Amino acid sequence: MNQPNRKVTKTGTDIDEVKRRNANSGLTYNQVKQMLGEQYTGKK
């Protein structure tokens, strides 16, 4: 499973896999905060 172009940290974490999972994880903290603020104030 060792791929020559694979980017990993010193501890072995696959950087591209982390980026892929983050992209698929949903809203960010700031996006949720903004959405709740808009709902609270009635803005869209």
Query: What average pLDDT does the chain have?
Result: 88
Please count the structural domains in the chain: 1
| pTM of the predicted model over 0.95 | no
First to last CA, the chain: 48
The reply to whether 34 falls in a domain is yes
- Does 35 map to a domain? yes
- Distance from C-alpha of 29 to C-alpha of 21, rounded to nearest angstrom: 16
For residue 42, the model assigns a pLDDT of 83
Q: In this structure, is residue 3 part of a structural domain? A: no
Position 1 in a domain: no
Would you say residue 20 lies in a domain?
Answer: yes
> Is 2 inside a domain boundary?
no
Q: What is the CA radius of gyration of the chain?
A: 17
Q: What is the mean pLDDT of residues 1-27?
A: 87
Tokens of 26: 């949903």
- The answer to whether residue 1 scores a pLDDT higher than 80 is no
